[in-house]
Structure 1
């Protein structure tokens, strides 16, 4: 059986507190964000149950653009429900917040298919699920969507 993540990615996640089978409670913040207008598809909730609360440090050379710090904490997007809804409408998906990267300069989101997005005044995608997470953490640039 092949490993779930590339060794470098697994090492970075492990240093941040992740481990196989990790599951955290999402109820503590979910109601507050849903009241604000965010919608959390099941794929997003499954991802956040595993990765919420992790802060991945910047370290080492990157593939394309940089290994920016990543913080998985959807509460960091409070006040941004309109931005996520608008980008979701543009791509034809429901995009929910995952957290931030590059020390709060950009938001991260995920849609109902598990696609991970860079959300700012433009949007880019990294890929679905583990593959998208690896691209993000290895410092690949996202595919900017022409909207």
Structure 2
């Protein structure tokens, strides 16, 4: 399987950054490899470039060297990543970033704001909206706390 030269170059550039910094900085001047914004919001570009670089779909045999790749990409890879990207970078107005609680597959357990509540009021999430919300007092997909 051929490796994309463009993908390999992109991956190598971020690998060089990680040789200098423990995490990728948010902004970087490549000419001097200097972090112009030293914060790291843990963006997924490097990890995604690794996946795209090697064109990993599914691995058919981990015992083989090199590993034997399959010929499919599970749909959850795209759907889960799209959900995470939207919540991380979309500045969603109905998502409370301060109190959010996500589980695997980017399912929101806590942090959805009620449609009538402005996002900066500290309003309850949709999962905590009370007895009038959803079926049985909770929104579908929200975790129901046990009283035990």
Which interval holds the TM-score relative to the shorter structure? under 0.3
TM-score w.r.t. the length of structure 2 is 0.23
The structure with the greater share of residues assigned to helix is 1
Bigger CA radius of gyration: 2
